[in-house]
Amino acid sequence: MKIVISGCGKIGVTVLESLVNEGHDITVIDNDPAVIEEITNLFDVMGVCGSCTDCDVLREARIDEAEMFVSTSASDEINMLSCFIAKRMGAKHTISRIRNPEYNYSALAFLRHQLDLSMAINPDMLVAQDLYNILKFPSAMKIEHFSRRNFQMIELNLKPDSALDGMSLIQMRAKYSAKVLVCAVQRGDKVFIPKGNFVLKSNDRIGITATPTEAVKFFKELNVYQKEAKDIMILGGSRIAYYLAKMLIASGSSVKIIERDSEVIQRFCDDIPKATIVAGDGAQQELLLEEGIKDTEAFVSLTGSDEENILMSVFAASLEVPKTIAKVNKEELSNLAKNLGLDSIVSPREVVSDVVVRYARALRHSLGSNIETLYRLFSDQVEAIEFKVSSEFEMKNVPLKEMPLKEHILIAGIVRERKPIIPTGDDVILPNDRVIIIAEGQRIQNLSDILR
């Protein structure tokens, strides 16, 4: 599929990298010749240097043949304008990054319609949504939803004293009554899709699928359940903080935001009057102590600097704040942060590229099966994909244990008429079901790809 991407910032490059790995024909547009040079050296793509709102530049990038145009430059206005021009010049689908609050909320639907955008991506909103989910369920390191929240995929780290240490999955199922499925395990750099005799060890990072109620039950049985965080301290008045604070306030939590820029503070005060805004440098430990970091239930560090986020989260964790989350954008730093013991890390890059990849894959296979959701977990080594089963699926009504599945594939969940099922060998897949597939080291484009 021919795809044109404009803007090669952090997000642009991440999207580009995922799409290249999916095997698309990609042309990138950027203003900076040095960036283009770098990108074309690193990736198998074609580079066009120039402005993405310039018709000649778009023509040179063969926009008229493009199936998809993704605009990820830093400016919302440029993104919208270039998407509009691209659409008029013949691009079939346009995706624009729009992150400014004034364009989001009520204006977004209008803009999308008027500009004929296929999708508007707000990375900050998406990250805020992720953060919100984690804060609502702090026992998880990361939590993703499937099938309109009927299913959850939860990542958690097994602490050294975990009850699951040295337990095989069969034993685990016998011991705990909560219906959960361990669908992926990361040990060191390796990721496994475990079978029943797989033995868990401490320090494993495991992914489980479960319904929301069963997940709570499981965590309670494990004795690691934390109740929803209601008192939250946010460091840095970024856009993510803005969206997050809005969501949290709406759900009745109390939010304290620490920011030094007076202009930003003014905007927060105007838009989110219910939040407590503290003017000051969040990097000062004194200030955080004074503002009662010890008594908060969760600490979220969202400043523009990855380093500061990591350090302040480590500080908060040392004060035994029950939940600390850091925003880390750079890939190399996020591994470092994990080594420092920070378990919850969010990254805007990954969130956005998941969304774009999902869209691209759905476009490529718009017939037959539909990809509903796609998440990539454990540093992109594992994919969790939700499909809607079409009536053409050849293995409908076949019990799972008789289905010739490929290696490293797991059917982690079935949703039938809104009723979630944690599948066992006797379950079957029916048309109109939604199934959640976990796949390691391969790209599942279509539901029949899971079959041998």
Partner 1 sequence: MNYRMILNFIGKIMGVEAVCMMISAFVGFLYGEFSSALWLALGAVVAFAFFVLSVIFKPKDQVFFAKEGLISVALAWVLMSIVGALPFYFSGEIKGFINCVFETVSGLTTTGATILNDVESLSHGMLFWRSFTHWIGGMGVLVLVMAVLPTASGRSMHMLRAEMPGPVIGKLVPKAKTTARLLYIIYIALTILMIILLCFGGMNLFESVIHTFGTAGTGGFGTKADSIASYSPYCQWVITAFMLIFAANFNIYYFVLIKKFSSALKSQELWVYGAIVLSAITLIALNVRGLFATTGETVRHSAFQVASIISTTGYTTLDFNALPTFSKSILLMLMLIGGCAGSTAGGLKVSRLVLLCKMIQNRILRVVHPRNVKAVKFEGKTVDEETLSGVSTYFALYCICQVVVFLLVSLDGFGIEVSISATAATFNNVGPAYGAAYAGYDGFSNLTKVVMSFAMLFGRLEIYPMLILFIPFAWRKK
Q: Which residues lie near partner 1 (CB under 8 A)? A: 2, 20, 25-27, 33-34, 37, 40-47
Closer Cβ to partner 1, 31 or 370, answer by number: 31
Region at 203 (left for phi over 0; alpha for psi -120 to 50; beta for the rest) = left
**DSSP conformation letters of 16-47:** HHHHHHTT-EEEEEES-HHHHHHHHHHSS-EE
Q: Least CB distance from residue 27 to partner 1, whole Å? A: 5
Q: Least CB distance from residue 37 to partner 1, whole Å? A: 8
Closer Cβ to partner 1, 27 or 139, answer by number: 27
Q: Least CB distance from residue 438 to partner 1, whole Å? A: 25
Structure tokens at 102: 């004034």
Q: Nearest-CA neighbor of 438 among 196, 211, 207?
A: 207
Q: Least CB distance from residue 69 to partner 1, whole Å? A: 14
With H, G, I as helix, E, B as strand and everything else as coil, classify residue 353. Answer: helix
Q: Are strands 151-157 and 93-97 parallel, antiparallel or unpaired?
A: unpaired
Closer Cβ to partner 1, 31 or 390, answer by number: 31
Q: Least CB distance from residue 89 to partner 1, whole Å? A: 15
Beta bridge partners of 187: 190
CB 137 within 8 A of CB 228: yes
Closer Cβ to partner 1, 46 or 279, answer by number: 46
- Measured between alpha carbons, how far is 339 from 324 in angstroms, rounded to an integer? 15
Q: Least CB distance from residue 23 to partner 1, whole Å? A: 9
Closer Cβ to partner 1, 18 or 122, answer by number: 18
Closer Cβ to partner 1, 188 or 404, answer by number: 188
Eight-state DSSP code of residue 228: P
Closer Cβ to partner 1, 56 or 228, answer by number: 56
Closer Cβ to partner 1, 53 or 162, answer by number: 53
Q: Least CB distance from residue 77 to partner 1, whole Å? A: 25
Closer Cβ to partner 1, 6 or 309, answer by number: 6
Give the number of other CB atoms < 10 A from CB of residue 25.
17
Structure tokens at 428: 């079957």
CB 47 within 8 A of CB 37: yes
- Measured between alpha carbons, how far is 125 from 247 in angstroms, rounded to an integer? 10
Q: Least CB distance from residue 26 to partner 1, whole Å? A: 5
Q: Least CB distance from residue 85 to partner 1, whole Å? A: 20
Beta bridge partners of 205: 157, 186
Q: Which long-range contacts (CB under 8 A, 24 or more apart) does 289-292 make?
A: 291/233, 291/256, 291/258, 292/233
Eight-state DSSP code of residue 294: G
Q: Are strands 46-49 and 382-388 parallel, antiparallel or unpaired?
A: unpaired
